[in-house]
Amino acid sequence: MTRLAALGERLESPLLVTNLTNVFYLCGFDSSNAALLVRPGGETTLYTDFRYAEAARAVPGVDVEMTKRALTLDVGEKLKGTVQFEADVLPYLEWERLSAGKAKLVPTRGIVDGVRAIKDDEEVATLRKAARIADRGLEALTAETWVGRSELELAWRLHELLHAHGAQELAFPSIVASGQNGALPHAHPTDAIVEKGSLVTVDWGVRVDGYCSDCTRTFSTGGSLPDELRRAYDVCLDAQQKAVAGIRAGITGVEADAIARDPITAAGFGGNFGHGLGHGVGLAVHEAPRLSTESTDTLEAGHCVTIEPGIYLPDVGGVRIEDMAIVRDDGVDVLTSFRKDLIEVR
């Protein structure tokens, strides 16, 4: 069954898809100005402007209609009856343009995301390839000297090595956070020099054939680590391994989060783990489902998720350990393979 047909089976009325990533996912059309009108049953119209005419006509399984450059204004005049739209991604200005037409617009959320969240075998193979390339790139960096170099220099060197090992682009700007900067979950690399006797957190990922990888490891630079930081690493690793062992299809995102959060809290670090356990990964580095205390999702076989507890100690440093995995009925298939014991870099 095609993705358009799978989506069509879920619809009671036509859905206008304006999220360009969703357009690409559903029909393979990559454009900066496009929309799909998917009807119950899967019959689909692809709207785009003259610049993409030839590429649009090559897309199988869709009817193509050319529009003006102001696509939503033009499409709004063409729509009739009840039409659903992606309320979570459509800017207000674009909604105004659509609503100027005659159709009755009904806001929806997550319809395409629900289809997109279940990865097929081809998607899993691509995600696995991206994870393997990322692992090899970082492994090459660990063979080099870190102490005495800046976070920015190491981040740029990692960028070079990832491309050398087959990455088409980065999935997101790499995080290299040393010393006290490791206490910032979303730290940006700085001019800070990596010093001996500290931890360095690296969060990195690549994009291959449109699909992302996402992984985090924390390294030691040798010397004598503060006892609290060393204990934080051990607690975080134990919690991450428990989550990897315990996550499976059928549990909720809240339950998955608790598998890692409970031991971290029991060890006295509950207040230092302020983000969710994980998120979906695919064509976007953050997509459905969510694994957190606020999640409304239930995990299904085929979901690709991150498992990334962290412990962040202000003015001291931090630890995060993250794998990317495919949810199965009986557990998870971990795609990232970089070792998780505390490796010393020099």
CATH of the domain at 72: 3.40.350.10
Residues 298 and 232 in one domain: yes
pTM given for the model: 0.95
Q: What is the pLDDT of residue 263?
A: 98
Domain assignment of residue 346, yes or no: no
Same domain (yes/no): 106, 141: no
Predicted local distance difference test score (pLDDT) of residue 245 = 98
Q: Are residues 17 and 150 in the same domain?
A: no
Is 293 within a domain? Answer: yes
What are 55's two structure tokens? Answer: 């590429």
CB 76 within 8 A of CB 99: yes
Peptide bond into 91 cis (omega under 30): no
Q: Please indicate, yes or no, if residue 345 is contained in any of the structural domains.
A: no
Return the bridge partners of 16, or none.
37, 85
pLDDT digits (tens, 9 = 90+) for 296-331: 999 999 999 999 999 999 999 999 999 999 999 999
Query: Given 93, 116, 139, which residue is the final one in a domain?
Result: 116
Q: Strands 34-38 and 44-49: what pairing? A: antiparallel
From residue 24, alpha-carbon distances to 19, 35, 63, 128 in Å are 9, 10, 15, 20
Q: Are 192 and 150 in contact (CB under 8 A)?
A: yes
- Alpha carbons 178 and 175: distance in angstroms, whole number: 10
Domain that holds residue 42: 3-116
Q: What is the pLDDT of residue 223?
A: 87
In terms of phi and psi (left: phi > 0; alpha: psi -120 to 50; beta: otherwise), the region of 333 is beta
Domain end among 62, 90, 116: 116
Among candidate residues 23, 50, 45, 44, the one with its CA nearest the CA of residue 34 = 23
Q: Which residues of the chain have pLDDT under 50?
A: none
Chosen domain end from 81, 116, 151: 116
